[in-house]
Structure 1
Amino acid sequence: MLPGKVPPEKLKELVFNHLGDKGERVMIRSGLGVDATAIEFGDTVLVASTDPITGAERNIGFYAVHVNANDVATFGAMPKWFLVTILLPEDADEALLKEIMEEIHSNCRKLRVAVVGGHTEVTPGLKKPIVVGTMLGEAKRERLVLSNGAKPGDAIILTKGAGIEGTAIIASERQCELEEVFGQEFVKKAKAFLKNISVVKDALIASEIGAHAMHDPTEGGIANGLHEMAEAADLGFKVYYERIPIAEETRKICEFYNLNPLALISSGALMIAAEKGKAEEIIKALKFNGINASIIGEFLEDSNKRLIIQNEEEKTLEQPPTDELWKVV
């Protein structure tokens, strides 16, 4: 198999039919396009998500907190409790562990999240550290937003733009090379994309107004996120390439390394499904809070139609087999 997420057909074959007991009070189980679970506790719902950080070495603690917080927030839940497993290579020193934990501590404090447990070890065979986070949050039952809630005709809203996380990672990991080509100021701006990686505010605003579903496009970028969101709801989609914001730094880095910006890891963006009457209200509220957002397309009833229109040409948007990031880092 290729690096990155296991392909959807293999998940169906090898993973989703081995999920143990059905479980009491489980409101949504694991499936394609489902990044968290929701467990009912009376009027309150516990939302939980887990994700590893494997494609970056720098800022790994930062990524672990925010990527997992994002998944919880897409269910309309406030992230509150964090567990973390830190696996270190044999040549790691204490300074690396201190750096990772300081990043986790400071970013959890910013989100008002408590670190409540985890595990730390030196693991033979690793070439670089791996951090696996688990975020827990809670929401009122009536405020819960499910991953599979998109409906035919819903507008697809995208906040910020494509390749946010990928741009920051590549700028950090390939800093010297990129500075020679584009200059220090360009690379500094690209690395600063890291500051935009959280979608907690985006998601809580949209859920309050009335989103049907939300999804943060991580591995595989915007293209994979659209497929995952459509798969969860058994829908198709039609999007317009020219409506998808791609920052200049992202575009130039992708051109330099011959990468597809729509298939580059995009934590920091949020895809929102909402009825068209609510979509403009959501966009207005997001922009009022300093978050750019735009309608990039709509969901279709026919699940076989996964379309993108570029330069007035309509074609199928293929699901990426792997993230473009793996070609570079």
Structure 2
Amino acid sequence: MLPAGKIPPETLKKLLKHLGTDNTLVIVGPGTGIDFGAVDFGDRILIASTDPITGAVEDIGFYAVHVNANDVALSGARPRWFLVTLLLPKGSDEGLPERIMRDIDREAKKLGIAIIGGHTEVTPGLDRPIVVGTMLGEVEKEKLVRPDGARPGDTIIMTKWAGLEGTSIIAREKRGELTNAFGEDFVERAASLMEYLSIVPEAMMAAEFGVNAMHDPTEGGVTNGLHEMADSAGLGLRVYPEKIPIREETKTICDFYGLNPLALVSSGTLLIAVKRDHTKVLVERFMAKGINAAIIGEFLAENKRIAITRGDEVPFPRPETDELWKMF
């Protein structure tokens, strides 16, 4: 039986045998750890990505825009066009789709994105709305950042903090319980972490700087995101968990519910593979722009995935599912 969340990599590999007609214009296709597809149109590359929002109800439109825009930005492309599918539970009030689309409209305008199509329906069997988005963008051919571009010896830079999206969702969905435990001010701070959800600004910075690969850790958090980057490049990795930045709000909520913050959905965080001798300059550029950044590991030629904890080398296993699913 499959667990909630992303399909395990070994199952996904079986599905990737069914990809329709071969097309020579497709220069980035589906795969483990691949966030977007890329189609060659000559001097320009069309970038496409799709993601559902399944773990949030409050502010679901906000998440739909930014989670999908993030995946396109990882290629070095600026998100431009968005298609939206709204799946609503039976018995939903007529104001629900209006509220969702109003939020989508607001966030799309912030990023300069046009909504060009979609679908809406009331779907039997749902207990919460689901929004499925498809985001399109374009990038100059020579500026494409491939998702499988990490190289042995590359440093791994991480922006912002682990578990941002999960912390924000839990704070909103469990507002009453957390307010009773920690107070209203704490819950508002935790809920407001959704403001950090977009990685478009730092992805554009990194792409202009010239990096080898980028990835945003969604389900399974930073831990799964690192494995996905290594999967796509066919590499091993060495991680320093003690160097991974985590907000106090995230630590508190994860301690309260018994969750692992490094396996909690982490949209808003950007993982970057960059040549070792370029690492310091890129981190300094992020910090100068007010974007928190840390060096958390490196990619290895050897087929091993390890963590260095208190000076000891230990295995770095992939999480079976995202910690958020334990909450719902």
TM-score range, shorter chain: over 0.9
Note the C-alpha offset of 1:317. 1.0
Note the C-alpha offset of 1:215. 0.1
Q: Which amino acid aligns with 1:298?
A: E
Unaligned residue ranges in structure 1 (runs of 5+): none
1:5 equivalent in alignment to 2:14: no
Partner secondary structure for residue 185 of structure 1? helix
Q: Could you tell me how far apart the structure 2 residues matched to 1:308 and 1:92 are?
A: 46
Q: Which residue of 2 aligns with 1:204?
A: 204
Q: Could you tell me how far apart the structure 2 residues matched to 1:145 and 1:278 are?
A: 16
Contact 1:308 / 1:315 at 8 angstroms: preserved in 2?
yes
Q: Which amino acid aligns with 1:314?
A: E
Contact 1:149 / 1:233 at 8 angstroms: preserved in 2?
yes
Q: Which residue of 2 aligns with 1:306?
A: 305
Q: Could you tell me how far apart the structure 2 residues matched to 1:59 and 1:23 are?
A: 38
What CA deviation, in whole Å up to 9, does each residue of 1:31-67 have, x standing for no partner?
0000100111111000000000001111100001000
Note the C-alpha offset of 1:136. 0.1
Note the C-alpha offset of 1:124. 1.3
Note the C-alpha offset of 1:295. 0.7
Contact 1:251 / 1:261 at 8 angstroms: preserved in 2?
yes
Q: Which residue of 2 aligns with 1:57?
A: 57
1:107 equivalent in alignment to 2:100: no
Q: Which runs of 4+ in 1 moved over 2 A?
A: none
Q: Which residue of 1 aligns with 2:241?
A: 241
1:136 equivalent in alignment to 2:130: no
Contact 1:160 / 1:292 at 8 angstroms: preserved in 2?
yes
Q: Could you tell me how far apart the structure 1 residues matched to 2:283 and 2:137 are?
A: 25
Q: Which amino acid aligns with 1:3?
A: A
Q: Which residue of 1 aligns with 2:165?
A: 165
Contact 1:210 / 1:278 at 8 angstroms: preserved in 2?
no
Partner secondary structure for residue 201 of structure 1? helix
Contact 1:211 / 1:274 at 8 angstroms: preserved in 2?
yes
What CA deviation, in whole Å up to 9, does each residue of 1:284-325 have, x standing for no partner?
22122211111111000012x111112222211110110000
Q: Could you tell me how far apart the structure 1 residues matched to 2:180 and 2:327 are?
A: 17
Give matches, 1:145-156, under 5 Å.
145-156=145-156
Partner secondary structure for residue 315 of structure 1? strand
Q: Which residue of 1 aligns with 2:123?
A: 123
Note the C-alpha offset of 1:24. 3.1
Partner secondary structure for residue 307 of structure 1? strand
Contact 1:209 / 1:278 at 8 angstroms: preserved in 2?
no
1:319 equivalent in alignment to 2:318: yes
Q: Could you tell me how far apart the structure 2 residues matched to 1:319 and 1:91 are?
A: 39
Partner secondary structure for residue 306 of structure 2? strand
Q: Could you tell me how far apart the structure 2 residues matched to 1:195 and 1:91 are?
A: 31
Q: Which residue of 1 aligns with 2:295?
A: 295
Q: Which amino acid aligns with 1:191?
A: A
Q: Could you tell me how far apart the structure 2 residues matched to 1:323 and 1:317 are?
A: 16
Q: Which residue of 1 aligns with 2:278?
A: 278
State the identity as a percent.
55
Q: Could you tell me how far apart the structure 2 residues matched to 1:209 and 1:107 are?
A: 26
Partner secondary structure for residue 83 of structure 2? strand
Contact 1:221 / 1:263 at 8 angstroms: preserved in 2?
yes
**How many aligned positions are there?**
327
Q: Could you tell me how far apart the structure 1 residues matched to 2:306 and 2:199 are?
A: 26
Q: Could you tell me how far apart the structure 1 residues matched to 2:315 and 2:100 are?
A: 41
Q: Could you tell me how far apart the structure 2 residues matched to 1:249 and 1:283 are?
A: 24
What CA deviation, in whole Å up to 9, does each residue of 1:89-133 have, x standing for no partner?
111112111110001000000000000000011111111100000
Q: Could you tell me how far apart the structure 2 residues matched to 1:83 and 1:282 are?
A: 33
Unaligned residue ranges in structure 2 (runs of 5+): none
Q: Could you tell me how far apart the structure 1 residues matched to 2:55 and 2:310 are?
A: 33
Q: Which amino acid aligns with 1:178?
A: L
Contact 1:145 / 1:211 at 8 angstroms: preserved in 2?
yes
What CA deviation, in whole Å up to 9, does each residue of 1:239-272 have, x standing for no partner?
1111100110101111111111110000000000
